[in-house]
Amino acid sequence: MAIVVLWAEADHQKRAELLAKTYGAQAINIATGAAPVTVADLDTLVFWGHGDAQHFCSLDDRGFLDVVSGWKKQNKKLSSVEMISCNLRHRQGTYTDSYTMKVVAKLKSKHAGLTFKALPVATTRMGVTCENSILKWQPSSQTWAYCATPGKEDKYMWAVCKMLEDQMPPRGDKDGYVRARNALAAANFTDTHKFGKDQYGSVVMEACPARHMLCVSNNAYFSTGSIGTLRWALTEIK
């Protein structure tokens, strides 16, 4: 069995190539419009690129369907499509459907038997579904962080990211997102701080009693890992 990693945006080239190298696979740029190729025993396509409720790897839902269909035509054993990005599972507060809701049903009806995976629909500890998410990547440590928050605005999502990145150089001394998250957990920071605003309206973390109803740990989602665990963090889209 074999995989191919597909990328589109220039800032995703190196990370896509690293992921491909991890699995002894090819990394191919789909932004050039190059035709799909036949790969011996190919069973999995892995897309990694920018994503939101409207586009993924610079493709709208019709464009993504065409790319997957083209690869399926050239590779009859293709059975799994993996989608690595931010916001694919979330509506970002303003749209009625997420990107995956738009494309997966269409592709399954056209190609019976295809399995689709993406990062999970993030939910908070209180059981609230998040509407904004981001997949962060740090090249030096080869680690990632998947952060999400509820609500129509994404300012709290960015605040959650800053919580992690404050633990990393140059502000902190923890190398990578995994160590940064462990540092937060060890300090119980997310259990004793809540989202607040400073005098300029920017989001800040305010101290609060542990397990406070508005504490960050109740209203945010964190997941971190290394390049080798990224694909394992994906979940099947039913």
Range with the poorest average pLDDT among 68-72, 86-90, 108-112, 137-141: 108-112
Which long-range contacts does 206-214 make (Cβ < 8 Å, 24+ apart)? Answer: none
**pLDDT the model gives residue 223:** 95
- How much is the pLDDT for 230? 97
Would you place residue 93 in the very low, low, confident or very high pLDDT band (cuts 50, 70, 90)? Answer: low
Q: So what's the pLDDT on residue 187? A: 87
Domain ranges of the chain: 2-118, 132-225
pLDDT, mean of residues 30-51: 94
Average pLDDT over residues 1-28: 96
Q: What confidence score (pLDDT) does residue 144 get?
A: 98
The predicted model gives 118-127 an average pLDDT of 92
Flag whether pLDDT at 113 surpasses 90. no
197: pLDDT strictly greater than 80: yes
| Range with the largest mean pLDDT of 97-106, 134-143, 184-193 | 134-143
Closest residue by Cα to residue 17 from 176, 181, 137: 137
Taking all residues of the chain, what is their mean pLDDT, rounded to a whole number? 92
Q: Is the preceding omega at residue 170 within 30 degrees of 0, hence cis?
A: yes
Rounded mean pLDDT of 92-100? 80
Percent of the chain residues past pLDDT 70, beyond the cut: 100
For residue 172, name the pLDDT band (cuts at 50, 70, 90): very high
pLDDT surpasses 90 at 1: no
**What are the residues whose beta carbons fall under 8 Å from the beta carbon of 119, sequence distance 6 or more?**
84, 85, 88, 89, 133, 135, 146, 223, 233, 234, 235
CA distances from 23 to 17, 110, 140, 185, 206 (A): 10, 29, 19, 31, 43
Sheet with strand 143-149: strands edge to edge: 132-138, 143-149, 221-226
Confidence of residue 49 (pLDDT cuts 50, 70, 90): very high
The C-alpha atoms of residue 229 and residue 18 are separated, in whole angstroms, by 13
What whole-number distance in Å separates Cα of residue 135 and Cα of residue 112? 29
Separation CA 39–CA 29 (nearest Å): 15
Q: What is the pLDDT of residues 134-163, one digit of tens each?
A: 999 999 999 999 999 998 889 999 999 999
What is the pLDDT, as a whole number, of residue 48? 98
Q: Please give the pLDDT value at position 53.
A: 86
Domain topology for 2-118: Rossmann fold (3.40.50)
Specify the residue for token string 């990694």. Answer: 48
